[in-house]
Amino acid sequence: MRKYNRTIRNLVCLLALSFALPACEIDDIPDPNSATLEDIMNQPTVGKLNNLVVGSESAMRNNLGNYYDAVSVIGREIYRLSGSDPRFTTDLLGFQESRLDPNVFYITNPWSARYSVIKNLNVLIEVLEKSDLVSSGKLTEAQRNGYLGFAKTIQAHQLLLNLNMTHENGIRIDVKNPDNLGPVVGRAQSLTTIAGLLNEADGHLRNAGETFLFPLSSGYNGFNTPATFLEFNRGLAARIAVYRENWNEALSYLDDSFLDLAGNLNTGVYHVFGTGSGDQLNPVFFPQNAGGEVRLAHPSYITGTVASDDRLQKVSRRTSAGSQNGLSSEYDVFVYKTNTAPVPVIRNEELILIYAEASIQNGALPQAVTALNRIRISHGLTAYTGPVTRPALIDEMLYQRRYSLYFEGHRWIDMRRYNRLNQLPIDRPADDVWTQFPIPFSEGA
């Protein structure tokens, strides 16, 4: 991805400006020789389309740190200590009279970053729909479908991340015209639209031939052809289906995904990072025993399991406890071991757990136990011996999701889906567990 960085950095920021949201920091004056939005629309070329793809993939990483911090602090997975901003330990945890502020970085920054990616991809879609690239012979119809399948899949993912934060407060679905944005719509309608986008992308990808015309980063290794990217798309569709409690749909989508009960748990699609000029470092990595800016594991993560569970390696014991504002932990978050470690978008371990969840809800309890045992035994636990009942297996499934998907952005959403936010630990007597973020103030919703 590094060879595209200079062009894409300028391109992404130009497109973000056209959306009138502060989606990326502009450190440099844009290169007057690089492509502009008007130029892309009026004189589209394959090179410019590919720049949009590469730039959109790169921009998916923007403000991931704020997203993961926000959902993981509220979900009581981590403490985020900061020497410069106390709101990680006040607002996000509902300390005393603190409330979530609709005009603060923990919602405005990730919200804007996701919509900037969506805007970039709207430009790509508009060019593909309105230009004569196919009729002029610059693209085949299959290649056009490849671009559209990529764009709609990534748009669906980006919309979902914002909906994960605002929940019943909803999101804007129609943002094609920045001067006339569509209304904010509720969670149910948003999920329906996101599922529809993924299904539209499915149709494109099935008619996209054998190869893409555009490059993808190493984070898509194994998923960089229309057929394999479709497996990624279907994995995301299965995630949406369980959010909508459409259990049969989830199982059907898993059939077409990269689910592999016997396969590597870490197979999947990832955000990748690098140290090269213009690239990004992993925003959710802090070195062990850091001071000032720290992510600590919530103490309940350590006390909630057994010593043989190798998922305890996702945290590391500090030489001295970290503490701030009445919160303390002896363990650092250590999911991502280096500042260039990849961050998963979706991986096989989540798909196995989705299979277990949908099987439980469909009454296929033996199949669910098989899937849960695949997770348990892989991580040093013995096979499940508890009651084979729907309530007991839901408990077990949520337990395994907690440890397998730790600090991957799921715990708060999972507990909310099952109306169990009241089971999350309260660290200080006046703290609250929030259900959702407010819509950013700048939206005027």
Q: Are residues 222 and 180 in contact, defined by beta-carbon separation less than 8 angstroms?
A: no
Cβ-in-10-Å burial (0-12, 13-18, 19+) of 111 comes to buried
Q: According to the 3-state scheme, what is the secondary structure of 56-97? A: HHHHCCCCHHHHHHHHHHHCCCEEEECCCCHHHCCHHHCCCC
Q: Name, in order, each residue with C-beta under 8 angstroms of 32's C-beta and a sequence gap of 6 or more.
A: none
How many CB atoms within 10 Å of residue 317? 15
How many CB atoms within 10 Å of residue 429? 7
Cβ-in-10-Å burial (0-12, 13-18, 19+) of 207 comes to middle
* Per-residue pLDDT of the chain in tens (445 residues, 90 and over written 9): 333 343 334 444 444 433 333 333 323 333 333 346 778 888 899 999 999 999 999 999 999 999 999 999 999 999 999 999 999 999 999 999 999 999 999 999 999 999 999 999 999 999 999 989 999 999 999 999 999 999 999 999 999 999 999 999 999 999 999 889 999 999 999 999 999 999 999 999 999 999 999 999 999 999 999 999 999 999 999 999 999 999 999 999 999 999 999 999 999 999 999 999 989 999 999 999 998 899 999 999 999 999 999 999 999 999 999 999 999 999 999 999 999 999 999 999 999 999 999 999 999 999 999 999 999 999 999 999 999 999 999 999 999 999 999 999 999 999 999 999 999 999 999 999 999 999 999 887 5
Q: Which of 275, 278, 315 is nearest to 295 (CA)?
A: 315
Pairing of strands 268-271, 294-297: unpaired
Q: Are residues 409 and 347 in contact, defined by beta-carbon separation less than 8 angstroms?
A: no
Q: Are residues 239 and 354 in contact, defined by beta-carbon separation less than 8 angstroms?
A: yes
Pairing of strands 78-81, 268-271: unpaired
Cα-Cα-Cα-Cα dihedral sign, residues 68, 70, 72, 78: positive
Which tokens belong to 364?
A: 């296929």
* Nearest-5° Cα angle at 283, 174 to 418: 60
What are the sequence ranges of the domains in the chain? 2-77+87-215, 294-333
Q: Are residues 111 and 440 in contact, defined by beta-carbon separation less than 8 angstroms?
A: yes
How far is it, in rounded angstroms, from Cα 98 to Cα 96? Answer: 6
How far is it, in rounded angstroms, from Cα 10 to Cα 388? Answer: 56
How far is it, in rounded angstroms, from Cα 18 to Cα 417? Answer: 36
Say what the pLDDT of residue 26 is.
Answer: 28
Say what the pLDDT of residue 36 is.
Answer: 60
Write the DSSP string, 265-294. Answer: TT-EEEE----STT----TT---TT--SSE
Q: Which residues pair with 323 in a beta bridge?
A: 328
